[in-house]
Amino acid sequence: MKPLLIFGCLLLSLKAFSDDKNTSINITGNWKEVKEMNLSKQPLAFTDTIVMKFTSPTEYVWKKGDGLGMRGYYTANKKTIDLGMIAFDVQQYNHDSMTLKTEDKIYKFVRFTEASLKEDDSKAQGGARLLTKENYADVTDFNVLKGRWQNYKREGAVKDVDYSRIIKMIVIPANSQDGKKGFVYAANDAESAPSWFIDKFENSTIYCKGKDDRTLKVLKCDGTELIFDDGVYKYYCKKFDK
């Protein structure tokens, strides 16, 4: 009986290990390649930096170097991140970094928040304007977000526009409605049928539920202008009373 008992325990251990490997991981957000290696872990020179933006628990945008962004669907667990066009074996993962492996290379990615570029006229010399990065302060007070925000401009390099996901408006009332802190409208949504509602706000991030789970990183809100990033586009919104 003892050999059978030991064998049974071994099978249970292997099953638990397999189940753990298949546990899904939350990689929603922006990831940038910072290191590339061969399978012997020797560093390789690279110029076409890979940027992956996981815009929801199922959708992503892939961009390599100056190429156009490509949208697709993905699955992610502790063992594999499968983008459809390419699959990575997960070597290491935590909230801020991950190491991924393909058949011929190893990649290290770090999570990042995009900063915008603005013209700095004060540093212009000889008629040339220098571009500097604008770092936004964290938005921590949800009250400053209350109001009706209409999108007037967006920035991003995506070839195929999905109007069922493009955001045209965010409405955050003075008081929650049935536990919903606000509403997010896609470009083709009717006024009475927003695609998402705001579930919570923390760490300068709006967490949405509805058609799917979605996060919006608030970069700036000064009472008249709201700027946020959904991982695909940067949105600029103006506040309207009605």
Lookup result for tokens 């669907």: 73
Which residues make Cβ contacts (< 8 Å) with residue 159, sequence separation at least 6? 68, 69, 70
Q: Classify 224 as helix, strand or coil.
A: coil
Strand partners, 170: 149, 184
Q: State how far the Cα of 39 lies from the Cα of 105, in Å rounded to an integer.
A: 6
What's the token pair of residue 192? 């009475």
pLDDT single digits (tens) 117-142: 344 434 333 333 333 446 677 888 99
Which regions of the chain are under pLDDT 50?
Answer: 1, 7, 13-19, 116-133
What pLDDT does residue 135 have? 66
CB 166 within 8 A of CB 184: no
Give pLDDT, residue 33: 93
- Domains in the chain (CATH in brackets) are 22-112 (2.40.128.280), 132-240 (2.40.128)
Q: How far apart are CA 224 and CA 239, in angstroms?
A: 5
pTM of whole model > 0.75? Answer: no
Side chain identity, residue 95: H
Structure tokens at 72: 């697709």
Q: What is the radius of gyration, based on Cα positions, of the chain?
A: 22
pLDDT at 121 (0 to 100): 38
